[in-house]
Amino acid sequence: MLHGDVLGERARLSPDKTALVFVPTGERFTYRQLDERARACAAGWQEVLGLAKGDRIGLLANNRPEFIDCFFAAAKSGVVLVPLGTKLTTHELAFIVRDSGLKALLYDAVFADAVATLRPLVALDRCVCLDRSRSCSEPGPRTLDPSPSAEPTRPCAAHGPDDLLCLLYTSGTTGKPKGVMIPHRMVAWNAYNTVIGWQLREDDVSPIFTPLYHAGGLGAFLLPIFAIGGTIVLHAGFDPAEIWETFERERCTVALGVPTIWKLLMEAPEFTTVDLSGVRWLISGGAPLPLYIIEGYQARGVVFRQGYGLTEVGVNCFAMSNEDSVRKKGSIGRPLPFTQAKVVDAAGRDVPDGEVGELWLRGPHVCLGYWNDPEATAAALDADGWFHTGDSARRDDEGFFYIAGRTKDMLISGGVNVYPAEIEGELLLHPQVADAAVVGIPHETWGEVGVAFVVPRGGAPSPDELAAFLATRLARYKLPKQYVFVETLPRTAYGKVVKGALRDTYLRARAGTRSSAGREGA
């Protein structure tokens, strides 16, 4: 039966292979050891916390081996894991606790104060600190150690493909966070598809320095690497010097990051001297990737790919070869095996190659919908199983896909559709542009016009220089009407630009300017 206990399956096949290296402590765990830890964790949930299949347990923790224990304890026990973002406010955490109906919460000692503030706001009486050395003052169990005879329910025997394994809450950049329902089959298919499509190997070594509470940390590459029997090198956080030292020491072969991370790693002094001869390829996702970053890594002899995925459909949905990563720069590749993809118009009809429409995906790696939100589920997941991604895309005549931006990001200027991601992609080709985002701003004549927020690289180019640069690459109606230079762009923990914040800041500043002018005129 298809299930999400990828660790348990691999432990049967490669029990003595090194599965995990935890960088802060230097600990090394085999697949057998990790599987035993996950079994003990599942037993603790059942015996000590009294949790049963379908109950939800929260996890507020930084990257650590216990995070992996908890994920696979969920796969074994049927208890639903709800990872919580470590950067969320108490108010945001309280919403997720209530919405998911948590019956218990596990947490890092560093979040003890946040948990103490949270508990009076929610009905949550079973809280356990993961750090045994800490003196816990809360009522309830202080440890999850089961009795020596305890054994969790036989892994996966009672789990169906569509049984829930975890709830992953979206970032909430367009409203309240939504709990994406991740079933066992989705976890398994994401792992197997990525192994096949990206041609991972049992000798691959992959560092994870992105948060495990995010789908990207779990889906690329924890689950795929465990499926094929490779080794994960887990960092507690982001430290460029530590990461490059680990690349060299552990002979890392493949890695995922977001553009911001790859930029910071490239700017670290260690980048120019680190031995990257063991790297097969690197991949970026989550946001548009500036060309100068690709070229910077290529200059070090590293193949650089781009990927695409969503929490709702698995973080890996497309693949490309090393050769195509050069020949088709900017493309996310072709759909993975067992993945259907199409680009449609507003009526759901396929659009011709080269035209922009909404990207729809279908396959066994698609989620069950949104927890406690049937309306959002019905809007995103249709009766035929197609997930409406909300992303604008186009497909070329060779079957390669390109992302044009979020459908909701599209602005209509003078009755014509304009896709900000297309403009951003061209801006990022300018040698003096380090980062860029384009948002639509209301306009009395045109309805909407584009405003480009630009992070300069080196000396700042003038607005006229940028306009002239884009004029040779884009139709006139697509050109931004204003350029605003900023030091940084607001981003989520996983690298997505929070365009609503840019738009609000701009509109407030414009309103303030008009108000000042009115007072002066009076």
pLDDT tens digits, residue range 93-145? 999 999 999 999 999 999 999 999 999 999 888 999 999 644 444 545 556 76
User: Which pLDDT tens digit goes with each residue over 181-211?
Assistant: 999 999 999 999 999 999 999 999 999 999 9
Yes or no: say if 188 and 2 are a contact pair by the CB < 8 Å rule.
yes
Residue 295: the pLDDT is: 86
- For 361-419, how does the pLDDT look when each residue is reduced to its tens digit (9 = 90+)? 999 999 999 999 999 999 999 999 999 999 889 999 999 999 887 777 778 786 677 87
What is the DSSP track for 252-270? Answer: --EEEE-HHHHHHHHHSGG
Nearest Cα neighbor of 413 from 391, 390, 439, 436 is 439
55-78 core/surface letters (b: 16 or more CB in 10 A; e: else): bbbbbbbbbbbbbbbbbbbbbbbb
Percentage of the chain beyond pLDDT 90 is 64
Inter-residue contact 432 to 498 (CB < 8 Å): no
pLDDT of residue 522: 39
| Better-scored residue on pLDDT, 285 or 439 | 439
User: How large is the angle between the packed helices 259-267 and 240-250, nearest 10 degrees?
Assistant: 90
Report the alpha-carbon distance of residue 242 to residue 264 in Å, rounded. Answer: 13
Structure token pair of residue 447: 């309805």
**How far lies 53's CA from each of 20, 68, 371, 411, 481, in Å?**
28, 19, 16, 46, 56
- Taking the C-alpha atoms of residue 345 and residue 325, their distance in angstroms, rounded to an integer, is 28
Residue 227 has pLDDT above 90, yes or no: yes
- Cβ–Cβ under 8 Å, residues 186 and 364: yes
Q: What is the overall mean pLDDT for the chain? A: 89
What's the DSSP call for residue 313?
G
Cα separation of 122 and 182, whole Å? 24
Are 165 and 143 a contacting pair, CB within 8 Å? no
**Listed residue (198, 184, 221, 188) closest to 6, CA to CA:** 188
What is the fold, at CATH topology level, of the domain defined by 410-521?
GMP Synthetase; Chain A, domain 3 (3.30.300)
- Name the DSSP class of 243: H
CA distances from 408 to 174, 285, 308 (A): 10, 20, 18
Two domains, one topology: 1-230 and 410-521: no
Largest CA-CA distance found in the chain, in angstroms, rounded: 83
CA distance 47 to 52: 10
Query: Higher-confidence residue: 31 or 498?
Result: 31
Specify the CATH class of 1-230 in words: alpha beta
Which of 116-125, 187-196, 282-291, 478-487 shows the lowest per-residue confidence on average (mean pLDDT)? 282-291
- pTM reported for the whole predicted model: 0.83
Interatomic CA distance for residues 358 and 343, integer angstroms: 5
Asked whether the beta carbons of 157 and 172 are under 8 A apart, the reply is no
Q: How many CB atoms lie within 10 A of CB 355?
A: 11
Q: For residue range 425-466, list pLDDT tens digits in order.
A: 889 889 999 999 999 998 877 778 899 999 998 888 999 999
Query: What pLDDT was estimated at residue 412?
Result: 73
Distance from chain centroid for Cα 252 = 21
Domain boundaries, the chain: 1-230, 410-521
What residues pair up with 283 in beta bridges, in sequence order? 256, 305
Residue 292, class by beta-carbon neighbours within 10 Å (0-12 exposed, 13-18 middle, 19+ buried)? middle
User: What is the average per-residue pLDDT within 231-252?
Assistant: 97
Q: pLDDT tens across 325-364, in order?
A: 888 878 899 999 999 999 999 999 999 999 999 999 999 9
